Amino acid sequence: MTLKPKYLLLALFFAFPLAPTAFAQEEEGGDETQEEQEKEPAITDYIEMDPPFVTHVGDPGTKLTYLKAAVTIRASKETTRPAVEAHMPRLRHELVMLFGEQTDAEQLSSTEGQQSLREEATKRINTALEEQQTGESITGVLFTEFVVQK
């Protein structure tokens, strides 16, 4: 079954006027997303907290258990790094206190416990940055090294 040239030309005649509007709609949608991307650039800045944290965890009077955590802060704005670096002693203090409060070494060894600790560390850092009136916040805390030694 072959199409006769007359029908083929007729089909093209009706389809051709619709093609430019379809391309125009695609281009307009692309421009909107490009404009949105230009307004808020997607930046991820990783800020290392050196040296790593080493502290004991667990209840007093029990066998000593140590925690070693290398921490990297994730920020989504270029202006966050200077604020974090300016207040690094305070931020390190907050994490030292948080790690020292940990009493359940078994929980720290679990994925859920580590995730909970990351979330609490993010909260504490953001609270400290807010108290220092920096106008900045971080998007997360990453453990690049996490060891619990019993």
What are the φ/ψ torsions at residue 103 (nearest 5 degrees)?
-115, -15
State the architecture of 45-149 in CATH terms: 2-Layer Sandwich (3.30)
pLDDT at site 105: 85
Residue in this structure with the two tokens 């965890």, named with its chain if needed: 57
pLDDT at site 59: 78
Helix ranges (DSSP H) in 40-74: none
pLDDT at site 86: 95
Structure confidence by residue, pLDDT tens digits, 65-92:
899 999 999 999 999 999 999 999 999 9
pLDDT at site 10: 57
Residue spans of the domains in the chain: they are 45-149
If DSSP codes are grouped into helix, strand and coil, which group holds residue 108? helix
Q: Which residue numbers in the chain have pLDDT < 70?
A: 1-41
The burial of 65, by beta-carbon neighbours within 10 Å (0-12 exposed, 13-18 middle, 19 or more buried), is given as buried
